[in-house]
Each structure stands twice: as structure tokens, then as C-alpha cells.
Structure 1
Amino acid sequence: MRVFKFGGASVKDAAGVRNVQNVLEKTGKGPKIIVVSAMGKTTNALEIVIKDYLFGNRVPQSLKTIEDDHFEIIKELFSNNPAPILKKVNSLFTELRNFLQHNKSDQYDFVYDQVICYGELASTTIVSEYLNSQDIKNNWIDAREFVKTDSVYRDAGVNWEETQEAILQNINTTEINITQGFIGSDPNNFTTSLGREGSDYTAAIFAYCLNAENVTIWKDVPGVLNSDPREFKNPKLLQHISYEEAIELAFYGASVIHPKTLQPLQQKEIPLFVKPFLKPESEGTKVGKGQLIFPKIPCFIVKKDLVLISLSTLDFSFMVEENISEVFRLFHQYQMKVDLIQNSAISFSVCVDNKFNQLEKLLQHLKARFKVNFVPGVSLYTIRHFNDEAIKSLERDKEILLKQLTHNTLQIVTRI
């Protein structure tokens, strides 16, 4: 059993869907779990639908554009007889419209998960039907029937015992199965999501439960690069990364591998490959046991639109364990991801990700006990395995608000 994951860029249009067939033909036969994300920028488009909906538009016009985009891809892929697949995908969007018309909840996170899943449901339906039409026989399966989670919408935790039981008892491991990334279901059978970019995690969940031979993530890049080509010049391919180093890179924000993906794979020593979907025969990057990183070169990471918060006690007393524990309790309460910590005797600084838009509530609580300064919209740059040249190139022309250096890692917070 092998697990393949195709991201949104891999299936953004009809040519991308056809290329999935090409990848499967070039990588050999045999049973597989194929995890597929929503097509192209569908998730972003559905987020606009959710925003429009919660502002009072019961069935937003923005939904029709998404439907039309999918129908155009279908017509290009199934030019001889598009009617059956059009009917299936139209049924999914009818389900979505019915939810929008009858839902009573105004809780953003709940509504988000009930709506956002239709991107994955539509894309996998199209990919599955297309492959069947090309004599690559497969089963379409609903990930929500297998990935069982708690009810923390938009960032659900996996119930591993129930998930493994569902997968082992119901998956046909002798065939190709196509399923959705990113989504699961809670004890009440409401849809949940595993966090943004959670499709990689879905692949790891199935691989772990099925003791897969390996996992391959098919991307629009040659493999894991030492920097994001959209942010840094001259990125270089990393041929091998250990599990530990990959977890470090993911923790600091490297976007190629989802932070939650690696732990279940490491537990069973299941290798992870990251390869370009347009050149399936290439080596790409292997993540597994062995050498820490090869070649050993500086790795650059940037996370943008964070918030730098600086705290000190009102009476200039020390920032001791009691104060710090209260701060972290509040971070947990308001779902703030902490990306950097720096403290001295009387001050404490953190760089946080306000992805759940609860900064104002957090600041109100903090100001009751501390003197608070904060700077929104900052960028956090990280270099793993830095050298002098790498530091100079990163710091050039930047206003540095905070700098922290450890044995292997340099981090700076800047206004730009």
C-alpha cells in the first residue's frame, strides 16, 4: 500500500486532472490511497462564500462562480458524455445550498467546516470519475466516514482509535481508493477540518493506520527547497531530510510539509517523498531516517502577518513562572499559535499567529495584569543552519524589532 497526495495546484484544471493519470501510469500499479485537495484556489473562494453568507446573504452569488469553474473542468474532461458527472457534482452543490438556506448557527468555525468540505468532495468526485473513464479503476470514499475527530472546528484533533478501526474494517486495501484531504467528522457526524493545509496530514493518517510502504506528496516544486521561491532568490533542492529536521522546519513555518504530518510517519518509520507532479520520475526529496539534512545548507523560512506582543509587570517585578503560566493559559484560551519567545527579568516578548482573529479579546485580558505593547503585521524570518553570509543577506534593508540566535537557528522579527 502506498499513499499519494495531490494538492490543489496539482488538480487546478483539466490538464492537472489528466496529469494525475500520467503520474499513476508512470509510478506503477498496485493498491493506493490517493488523497486529493480542493481544485486550485477553491478553498479561498469558499472562504469568500462563508464571509458573504455570515454577512446576511443566504446563498451568496460568489458560490455560482465556484460551481461554474467546476462545470467547465468537467465539460473539458468528459466532452463525450458530461451528464453523469455533472449530475453528481451538481448534487454536491445542491447539498451546500440547502445547508446555507437552513443552517441556524452563526458560529464562524462551525459554518466554515460545513461549507469548506465541498471543495474536496467536488474535486475527488471529478478525479475519481475521470480515472474510471480512463480504465484506472478506483473507489471514491468519503474521508468523513474514516477520519474521526473531536468537535474543535477548523482545527480538529484526531481520535486515533476510532479512526484506525474505521479504516482497517472498511478500506479495500487491494484496490485504488480516492478520498479527500483536510476533512473528518465529529461524534455528531458534523464535518470537521484538520487545519489549513491539512491534506498532507490526512495522507499521514491513512498511511499510519494502514502501515503504508511510503507516502508521496505531489507538488508544483521539485521537492523540499531550502527556501520558498516566492520569497527568496535561488532556492536549492534538499535531497534528504531526517524526520527530526523536517519537524523543525515545519514548526518554524516551512510550507511544503504540514506540521502535523510527520509525527505519525516517524512513529512507524514510514518514508515521505515530496516530488514534482510534472516530473514524476524525478527523485525529489526523501524524508526519513538517516542524515540530518543533505546538502547541509542554510534553510530560510518566513511567516508574515504575525503579531509581536511585549509584556512587563505593572509593578516592575520579575516575570516569573506564575506570570508566564498565566500568559500561556490565555494564549491557549484564545487559540494563539506562539512562534517565538524571548524573555528577560522584567519583560516577556512573543510573536504569535492571530489566525482565529481573537487578538482584541486576548489583549483585554493581558492589559488587566501587564503593561502591554504590540505590533501587528510583522514578519518572522528563520534560518536553520545559518552562516555569516546567510545572516547578512537576510538582515539587509530590514528594520529588526527582535533577534534571537541559538546553536542551529536564527530568528528575527521585522516590520516588513
Structure 2
Amino acid sequence: MFNEQVLAQMERAEQVIDGKLKDIDRTVDRNQWKVIRAFQKHKVSDYHFAGSTGYGYNDRGREVLDLVYADVFGAEAALVRPHFVSGTHTIGTALFGVLRPGDGLLMITGRPYDTLHKVIGKPGDGQGSLQDWGIRYGEVDLSEDGSPDWQAIAERITPETKVIGIQRSRGYSWRASFTVEQIGEMVRFVKEIKSDLIVFVDNCYGEFTELTEPTEAGADLIAGSLIKNPGGGLASTGGYIAGKKELVELASYRLTAPGIGGEVGAMLGTLRAMFQGLFLAPTLVGQAVKGSVFAAALFEELGFVTHPKWNDPRTDLIQAIRFTGPEHLIAFVQGIQQAAAVDSHVVPEPWDMPGYEHPVIMAAGTFIQGGSLELSADAPIREPYIAYMQGGLTYAHCKLGVLTALQNMKDRNLL
């Protein structure tokens, strides 16, 4: 399957990262215990897995799932539903829930992830975006070193600013993802300027990579996707919102309707997978993080620039690798696809994907369509040529994907 040179590079990389993998295991243990304690506190039983129909009145499983999520994330309340179709939908629901015409949203971690651009929109775009509804928008670029530009943030906060937005993960940006400690520092800074600000964190890709979550560092509201970290590879769709009770309630009115909120909504047989996925999530996130560390170590040895480096702190799943041209980028992503258990025969090609501003190539041989806790990789075809690898339900699969990508590049004489 792999030539001797590739196998030797694998052995060297694993020797280098051995201590780092043990550190990841310690994080997994503590997060796993935290999840189990929440299950025990709320006396989760098999009858909580039963599905509901119609309006879903008095669905005790749905109610307990919300309580468990709230405890796991150190929040007052949570809204966990299969009715969220994506992370973008979940984030949009949270923002539309708490913002009103004339309010201001200020993103302080630079330009957000591509798919959120249409949610923010433009004034008068006629699409029902935030700005179309008269919500003012601004963003503050990060400093050259990737840290918040504190002076610019202070200058951009106005009496109309109501929500401060923070994107924890790097998205398609060549920067470090923010740690929970750094997010806590941002929360304290902006609230010293304006105490009634609502701090919202896009928590996608970050759950269970650290011992705490942004809501435990002062964030008022967070949101994420269940086909990423917290779904544990089992949740087939959905998202979650967690934070202060009154803010979660406002978001629930946006998901359904005012006066209805989170009190209804048939769970349609999804509860068992959501509970069990959350139970598995800390372990599977740890497997994916190990895979990212391995990829970084292997490609650093080959002379490529990675972000984060193999021994940097980890606060999300994503591993960015910078290549020298589109051929390397495409060969890498296609190699990840070749290693999939599902659709390994499919050859990804760049295409104009809805919600993105450049052609995107995406390897996604997953059991859950778009499930990025599973091994996947994608990249916009633009300079600099950076591949973003994430996920992997097992470390063994992560290694297979990385080694197949490397062998693919060698076979094409790109190395």
C-alpha cells in the first residue's frame, strides 16, 4: 500500500509526537468523565431515547438532552435539536434571536467563515439577511500576529453595539484558533467597555478539545453543529445553542415561533444517537486531534508549513497545511478521499460550492453527509494554497488518510 520511504516517515513522526498523544488522552479522560457525570445527574435512562411525533409535547428525552448539554457546557440552558440543518443555520438562529433592527453586531476576530457571509448579508439585499433587517454590522481584523486588535475593538464599540461575535476556529484563515482562555480575555475586555454586551461564540470544531468551553469563560451564548464534535459521529443532523437562559429562549423563538420556542418539536427518532454521540464525543474528538498532530508532524518533516505546528496547543480539530501550488493541494485532498471507507472511488474536483466565494475541493467520504468529525479535507482554490484537514473517528483512519495523501503526491512526482 505504501512504499518504504512513506512508512519510515510515519515511524519518525509517531516517535516525535508520542508525548503529545499522551497529553491528548488526559484531556479525553476528563471530558469523558464530565459528560458521564452530566448523564448521571439527570438520570438518563433508555426511555429518554424514545421518539416523539406531531407537536412533540412533553418529550422528556428532548428536555433532558437540553439539561445535559447545559451542564456539559457550563451554561444555564441549552437548545439541542435535529431541526438545525447546519452550523450556519444554528449560528444564524442564535444571532437573529438576540438582535433587533438598529442593533449592532461586531465581529472581533476578523472576517467570519465563508458560509456566514450570506447570513450577515448587505443592507437591502432582499434576502432576509441580518443587514437586510436593519442590523448594523462591523468587523475588526486581527493584528498581524493573529491576536485581537484591542485598540480597534475599543474604537468600534458604539452605543448601538449589542452583540460581540467571536469565531473560535480558524475557518479558512491562516491563524491560530482561539483558546478558551483567550476568549475569556476578550469577554472581559469588551464588557469593561460596555457591560451589557452579549458575547456570542461560534464554537464549531472546538468542543472537547480543551477542558472547558467558552460559556465557562464568560461567553453569553455559543452555538455549534452536531455533525461536528458534539454529535460523536452518530448524530445524523442538528445543532445546539447554549448559554444564558433568556438568550437561549430568544433563540428558540427564532427556531420555531414566538410563544412556542423549545416547548415543542418532535425529535423523530434522533434522541438515542444524540445522547450516545455526546457520550462518545470526547473520545472521538481526541482521536481526531491526534490525527491532526500526526499530519502536522509528518508534513513539517517534509518541509511544508503547518498551522498549528505539531506541538502547538490545540483548541479545534482543524489542521492547515500550506502547499506550493494547486497541484499539491488537489493531490492531497484527493488522497484523503481515497482513504475513505465510504465513496473511496469518488475523485473530488474543485467546484463552485454554494455559500463560498471561490471554487472549493472537498474530500468527504463520510457516513454522515458533511460530517466533519469524520475524516475530511477541503480547500478553496486560491493563493496561498492551503488544505484544511479535520476529523477522523479513529486515529488509525487519520493515519491512513494522511499517508495515502502523501503517497498520492509522491506517485504524481510532486515531492
TM-score normalised over the length of structure 2: 0.26
TM-score normalised over the length of structure 1: 0.26
Using CA pairs under 8 Å that are at least 6 residues apart, name the structure with larger relative contact order, 1 or 2: 2
User: Larger strand proportion, structure 1 or 2?
Assistant: 1
